Amino acid sequence: MAAPPEPGEPEERKSLKLLGFLDVENTPCARHSILYGSLGSVVAGFGHFLFTSEIRRSCDVGVGGFILVTLGCWFHCRYNYAKQRIQERIAREEIKKKILYEGTHLDPERKHNGSSSN
Amino acid sequence: MAHAAQVGLQDATSPIMEELITFHDHALMIIFLICFLVLYALFLTLTTKLTNTNISDAQEMETVWTILPAIILVLIALPSLRILYMTDEVNDPSLTIKSIGHQWYWTYEYTDYGGLIFNSYMLPPLFLEPGDLRLLDVDNRVVLPIEAPIRMMITSQDVLHSWAVPALGLKTDAIPGRLNQTTFTATRPGVYYGQCSEICGANHSFMPIVLELIPLKIFEMGPVFTL
């Protein structure tokens, strides 16, 4: 029972919780990792079955593929997400500095133009 | 504040809380995969036709299920320790506030720029105005500026209490005879709620904490000093 969003606020997506606790919709990179993991699981499991015709072993390969592909996508996506957050923070601070110091001797643009003309 | 039946973390209002949410997501994904594997193993156990009663060992499997958990624990511990040391960084606070726990209210002291001291009691239900939050709102809020590092010195005058504000990722025990320190930098203005987090008697649930975070320009005009 979520609180209704304030006017102008983006609506929180309806949460889908895998195994009752992993909120796939609202956790960054979770949906992407689980989807690719499921695809990897189907490809690995079905591929193994096509070559060997062993059902149980193919299921094991499928589960292993799901775990490995999900983990791999997860770390890759979270690494990029962390890099993006850092870049956003740097951009936000630069914008703030620019607004605060524009026209003064501390203006970052003036410093930058000064160093490039030297 | 948390909404009714909320299970997850509140939105972050400080960089530390953002890091904690990121770590929580990371740990939860690992937990999900482990649970998935365990459920699959359970399914296999319940559906197997293999009934060999002469199995004595399984060296390879035992090696795997020793080394793999060790690797998983390292993957969880490294980000955890990183955040732990990050919370201990002290980056030249602009303001120091003292918070003293009593049975059953908090006292706040702003002694940097004058001698402002006040108590913060929970608003009894009879005194609530329309829109006030039951069991959360207080008579005097802690008014603080955003985007300025703030140091909180926390202690207690009687029994153990704990000063906690989930949105800022803060929880520090108030121990009589000891001064604990926590620092934070809020990134968004707003009103943030917390509750005493250490059992301290009959009214332990009725001594909330309310922070009112306002822009630095407005804080400098001195609204907190007009009490």
Measured between beta carbons, the chain B residues lying within 8 angstroms of A63 are 36-37, 40
Measured between beta carbons, the chain A residues lying within 8 angstroms of B3 are 1-3
pLDDT along chain B (227 residues), means of 10: 84 93 93 94 88 83 93 94 90 92 95 88 93 92 93 96 96 96 94 96 96 91 61
A21, A33, A35: best to mutate for the B interface, most B CBs within 10 A: A21
CB B105 within 8 A of CB B142: no
- The DSSP symbol for A30 reads H
The pLDDT value recorded for residue B224 is: 58
Give the CA dihedral B51, B56, B61, B67, nearest 10 degrees. Answer: 140
CB-CB under 8 Å, B26 with A22: no
B145 vs B110: CA distance, rounded Å:
13
The pLDDT value recorded for residue B166 is: 95
Which tens digit of pLDDT belongs to each residue from B91-101? 889 999 999 99
The pLDDT value recorded for residue B58 is: 87
Whether the bond between B104 and the residue before it is cis, its omega within 30 degrees of 0, is yes
Among candidates B3, B32, B44 on the partner chain, residue whose Cβ is nearest the Cβ of A19: B32
Measured between beta carbons, the chain B residues lying within 8 angstroms of A27 are 25, 28-29
B155 vs B98: CA distance, rounded Å:
8
Q: For domain B95-221, give its CATH number from 3.40.50.720, 2.170.130.10, 2.60.40.3120, 2.60.40.420.
A: 2.60.40.420
pTM of the predicted protein model: 0.84
Q: List, in order, residues 6 or more apart from A58 with CB less than 8 Å away.
A: A45, A46, A48, A49, A52
Considering chain B, tell me which residue range(s) the CATH 1.10.287.90 domain(s) occupy.
15-88
Which tens digit of pLDDT belongs to each residue from A9-46? 555 556 778 888 888 888 889 999 999 999 999 999 99
CB-CB under 8 Å, A30 with B25: yes
Chain B nearest CA to A66, separation (Å)? 9
The pLDDT value recorded for residue A15 is: 74
CA separation, residue B191 to residues B80, B105, B110, B133, B184 (Å)? 28, 18, 19, 12, 15
User: In 3-state terms, what secondary structure has residue B180?
Assistant: strand
Rg over alpha carbons for chain B, rounded to the nearest Å, is 24
Q: Which two tokens stand for residue A61?
A: 């390969």
Considering chain B, tell me which residue range(s) the CATH 2.60.40.420 domain(s) occupy.
95-221
The pLDDT value recorded for residue A2 is: 45
Q: For domain B15-88, give its CATH number from 3.30.1540.20, 1.10.287.1080, 1.10.357.10, 1.10.287.90.
A: 1.10.287.90
Q: How far is CA A18 from the centre of its chain?
A: 17
Nearest residue on chain A to B27, alpha-carbon basis: A22
Q: What residues of chain B have any CB closer than 8 angstroms to a CB in chain A?
A: 3-6, 8, 22, 25-26, 28-29, 31-33, 35-37, 39-40, 44
Q: List, in order, residues 6 or more apart from A107 with CB less than 8 Å away.
A: A98, A101
Q: Which two tokens stand for residue B79?
A: 């980000």
Q: Find which of A96-105, A109-118, B115-124, B217-226 is predicted with most confidence, using mean pLDDT.
A: B115-124
